[in-house]
Amino acid sequence: MERLLRALSIVNLVLCVWMVLSGIFLFFFYRPTAAAAWEDISTLDSDFTFGLVIQTSHRLATPVLLVTLTAWAFMLAVASDFGRSSVLAGAVFVTVGAAVTGLILPWDQLALWSVTAGTNMRGYWPIIADDEIRFVMTNGAVTSTDTIVRILILHVVLGLVLTCVVAWVRRRSMKAPIDQPLSGDHQVMA
Q: Domains for the chain: give ranges and CATH numbers.
A: 2-175 (1.20.810.10)
Model pTM score = 0.71
Distance separating alpha carbons of residues 106 and 115, to the nearest angstrom: 12
pLDDT tens, position by position, 63-86: 999 999 889 888 888 877 777 777
**Maximum C-alpha span of the chain:** 61
Q: Are the C-beta atoms of residues 73 and 110 closer than 8 Å to each other?
A: no
- What band does 27 get if pLDDT is binned at 50, 70 and 90? confident
Please say if the pLDDT value at position 21 is more than 90: yes
3-state secondary structure (DSSP) of residue 48: coil
